[in-house]
């Protein structure tokens, strides 16, 4: 039995975890809203999970409430993402599961793999911070080589304009999208409303738009007020995978892949470690 078979088994399970709430119309302006930093904030996390709309929730790995909230979110028909911490230009702490500057390919791959395995019902990933690492072509190539082992999409949070993450994902045949609007950089209702209005404007101009928000109380309360009003605006909300379907009509998200390509560096390391453990 090869080492990557567990990854393929996980991939098969992930394909079955697609929420029912997906967009099916190309004629109506459609938005997707990703809530980052899930897993740290229990109260607002539950509030967002309980909203009866197809939000996409991005969970930080190895946080106290991540697994419980991710399962609750899946049961509430939310789409689940990994919010993988990546090195930033300010040197801010990444917390557990961070991909840092100077990591070897082996260390980066194993850290990412462990984070993927730590979150149930995963369908995609995006970057937490990452203004430094997403500019680095080599490290982004390592990330995408590992993602190729799973049916997972990638969303570039675009924390810096010079990010190469999305382009590298496309080069590796990883389904990918990018963030259009940040909802709550400034945490006042007035500013969140301004950004939400901008999101609607972009969706009307382009047909689709993606926003990223956070589990701040002001954001949760605003969405509780704003989302029921989308129908009157003629706007549809979908999961990220639903939005991808709209932008890629008639295509299967992972249908063009000929075969999985093994990430041999990490796989050989795990295989050798397993042999060593068996001898003990």
Lowest-pLDDT range of 76-90, 195-209, 239-253, 263-277 = 263-277
Distance CA 52, CA 37 (A): 20
Q: What is the mean pLDDT of residues 83-95?
A: 92
pLDDT in tens, 201-235: 999 999 999 999 999 999 999 999 999 999 999 99
Residue 58 makes CB contacts below 8 A (sequence gap 6+) with: 34, 35, 36, 37, 38, 81, 82, 83, 125, 126, 128
Residue 273 makes CB contacts below 8 A (sequence gap 6+) with: none
pLDDT in tens, 5-23: 445 445 544 544 444 444 4
Q: Would you say domain 5-279 falls under CATH 3.20.20.370? A: yes
* Predicted pLDDT at 202: 98
* Number of Cβ within a 10 Å radius of residue 256: 9
pLDDT in tens, 240-260: 999 999 999 878 898 766 554
* Predicted pLDDT at 270: 59
- pTM score, two decimals? 0.85
Pairing of strands 236-237, 153-156: unpaired
């Amino acid at each position: 039995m090869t080492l990557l078979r567990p990854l393929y088994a996980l991939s098969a399970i992930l394909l079955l975890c697609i929420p029912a709430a997906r967009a099916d119309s190309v004629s109506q302006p459609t938005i997707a809203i990703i809530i980052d930093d899930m897993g740290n904030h229990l109260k607002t996390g539950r509030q967002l999970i309980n909203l009866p709309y197809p939000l996409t929730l991005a969970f930080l790995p190895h946080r106290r409430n991540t697994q419980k909230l991710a399962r609750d979110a899946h049961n509430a028909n939310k789409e689940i993402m990994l919010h993988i911490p990546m090195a930033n230009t300010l040197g801010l702490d990444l917390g557990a599961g961070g991909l840092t500057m100077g990591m070897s390919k082996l260390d980066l791959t194993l850290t990412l793999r462990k984070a993927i395995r730590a979150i149930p019902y995963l369908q995609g990933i995006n970057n937490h911070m990452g203004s430094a690492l997403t500019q680095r072509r080599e490290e982004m190539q390592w990330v995408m080589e590992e993602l190729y082992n799973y049916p997972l999409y990638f969303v570039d949070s675009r924390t810096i304009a010079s990010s190469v993450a999305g382009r590298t994902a496309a080069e590796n045949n990883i389904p990918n999208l990018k963030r259009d609007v940040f909802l709550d950089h400034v945490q006042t209702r007035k500013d969140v409303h301004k950004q939400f209005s901008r999101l609607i404007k972009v969706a009307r101009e382009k047909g689709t738009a993606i926003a990223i928000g956070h589990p701040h109380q002001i954001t949760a309360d605003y969405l509780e007020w704003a989302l029921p009003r989308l129908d009157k605006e003629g706007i549809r909300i979908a999961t990220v995978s639903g939005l991808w379907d709209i932008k890629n009509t008639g295509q299967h998200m992972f249908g063009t892949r000929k075969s999985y390509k093994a990430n041999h560096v990490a796989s050989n390391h795990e295989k050798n470690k397993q042999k060593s453990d068996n001898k003990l």
